[in-house]
Structure 1
Amino acid sequence: MSRPLFGSHSATIVGPALAVRISEIAETPELPPTTQSEGPCHHSRMRPEKLCGVWWARLAELRAAHLELLDTDERRRRAGFARAADRDRFTLGAALLRLAAGAHLGIPARRVPVRRRCPHCRGPHGRPTLPGEPLHLSVTHAGDLVGVAVTAAGPVGLDVEQEVELDWRRLARRIQAPGEADPIRSRAGFLRCWTRKESVLKATGDGLRVPMSEVAIGPGPTLLRYRSRVRPPAHLTDLPAPPGYAAALTVLAPAPPRVTAEAAGGLLIDRAICEKTRVREGRRMVTGHPAGGG
């Protein structure tokens, strides 16, 4: 059985394009370390179409050996990030995605065939897919927190945001849908609304090409309306998050899957990764900085 995901810290559930913009406004605060899972995919005896697994990791868990899990396109995309922190978030997300999918499929992470293709420009930056495999994937990051979701239930969208100073009242007027019964009255309420809608847009594959004001969320949370059409069969979940963060998940499926969330330590320190890490120079991050708590 997994130990608590975020230790003994309680979190008020309030809810990645926003994460990128917000991260440029304020410094990332120090957060308490996560506790690690006993091991990957301990729910795998369930029918896969009834399960959605979510894994969370901290940037301090990144190791040099994780970079070797990236393919050529991912390495090229990683090199395009100007800031070291952005390169680390991308590397950790790509590695964790392969490790989590490999745990579901029962194959080594290096053999997981992740593909990213934008449906509009055909560039290697679309949402991740697994050609020939019945799994749906989503990746998100904010601050020093990186998350992935893996499920066979249906298309999935995962979003995490970090609380920072911003004009949430002005943004709230832009993202609320006409007729939404739950007005945004606080910063926490704004993040709750944003993460729910962002997770829906990631699950549908539309992303921020669709204005959030065209996504109507009701109590539960539930998806009431999408782009003025009858809503798709969407199941929304507010996820536990550490203090200062908010997270939400959407799965498009006929029936709601069982959602499980855990720290990714058991995946990130699998035997192959650990063996490669021990023979390299120290336990250093991809950027060359000490790995902190190790």
Structure 2
Amino acid sequence: MAVKTESYYVPAQSPWPIIGALGLFLLALGAGMWAAGIAGICGPVIFGSGTLVMTIMLFGWFSNVIKESHSGLYSAQMDRSFRQGMSWFIFSEVMFFGAFFGALFYARVLSVPWLGGAGNNAMTNEVLWPDFTAIWPLTLTPGGLETTAMGWFGLPLINTIILLSSSVTAHLAHLALLREQRQPLKMWLGVTVLLGLAFLGLQLWEYLHAYHELGLRLDSGIYGNTFFLLTGFHGAHVTLGALMLFVMWLRILKGHFTPAHHFGFQASSWYWHFVDVVWLCLFVFVYIL
């Protein structure tokens, strides 16, 4: 009796991985030069070029995968490969944010008490910073720069409600897809994208408020560093997640996805829920505690 084997599609050589690597390199180089103030306007220009290259890569690679899927080239094994790949990608993102949260906890739980003379570190306090007060957030730098901490009430709380609501609407869109309800699917997913854009707009407003009214900047000591790095990287992930969901919305308008075959939508939904969980941790550990 012949054993039936399942074919596994192997795509042809593609330029998108090397283009993506180039885009990430330009983003990192431009961001570094921009933050360090090197070569004037070159940093922002290089960063913008990297953003453009990454956008072209994402749309081009998505387009190739969509065409391959609609051509019937993907098997059940391929679907499992996609799921494993997305799972590992999200795990890598967990580790990415874990490193920044780890740095925050190290500063708050270990470094700040040490500088304040906790334990057997009285001499450390006297030698390094005699007038240091071990409290968090640190609103005074060793250089004398004083800032104001960002409270949790107001824009941060509104953004938390918006992002949690977007997670609910994304889930409602998924349920509508499983029930083959196309109109509710379009509506709920469109609302999710709009909520994501609203979150980004309010975060920009929050940054302007922090810079101009609170004196809270990236160079405002360890507190300013951790605040802008954590919230800034999260904002970048929200931008990517909103872009992914927007692409899914465009595909739905074209009639793509069925209850049995919709991993592209599901992967974007996974990523969006991950972004929401990270924000909850940020809201608690950066804004409230």
| TM-score (normalised: structure 2) | 0.22
**Higher RCO structure (Cα 8 Å, ≥6 apart):** 1
Q: Larger Cα Rg: Structure 1 or Structure 2?
A: 2
| TM-score (normalised: structure 1) | 0.22
Query: Which of the pair is proportionally richer in helix?
Result: 2
